[in-house]
């Protein structure tokens, strides 16, 4: 499901809010999540899950699978998501 589809469904459920206001609210919501993750804070959405950033250490001996050449992989941050117990139960019904 894409963002416009989500906004459309929300506007059908709450037409008094207005589509433009829903777009602004959703944009602010996403910006706050991104800002927290950039600070390496975790974002917990109860009954949904937790987003967090995990630092992956540098690898000195990695191989390029195409050429079999040794390469250096610098350290980087990876976004991780851990689903809540409630979400896992709902998906597996």
pLDDT in tens, 5-64: 999 999 999 999 999 999 999 999 999 999 999 999 999 999 999 999 999 998 888 888
d(CA 8, CA 22): 9
**CATH number of residue 79's parent domain:** 4.10.520.10
When divided into structural domains, the chain yields a total of: 2
Same domain, 48 and 91: yes
Same domain, 51 and 67: yes
Same domain, 65 and 31: no
pLDDT confidence of residue 93:
87
Same domain, 54 and 67: yes
Same domain, 54 and 85: yes
Q: Which domain holds residue 76?
A: 41-93
* Residue 20 backbone dihedrals phi, psi, to 5 degrees: -65, -45
Q: How far is CA 34 from CA 5, 25, 39, in A?
A: 21, 14, 9
């Amino acid at each position: 499901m894409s963002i416009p589809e989500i906004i459309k469904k929300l506007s059908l459920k709450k037409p008094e809010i207005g589509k433009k206001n829903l777009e602004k609210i959703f944009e602010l919501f996403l910006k706050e999540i991104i800002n927290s993750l950039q600070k390496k804070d975790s974002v917990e959405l109860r009954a949904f899950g937790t987003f967090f950033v995990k630092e992956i250490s540098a690898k000195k001996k990695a191989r390029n699978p195409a050429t079999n050449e040794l390469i250096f992989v610098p350290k980087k941050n990876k976004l991780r998501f851990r689903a809540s117990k409630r979400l896992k139960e709902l998906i597996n019904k």
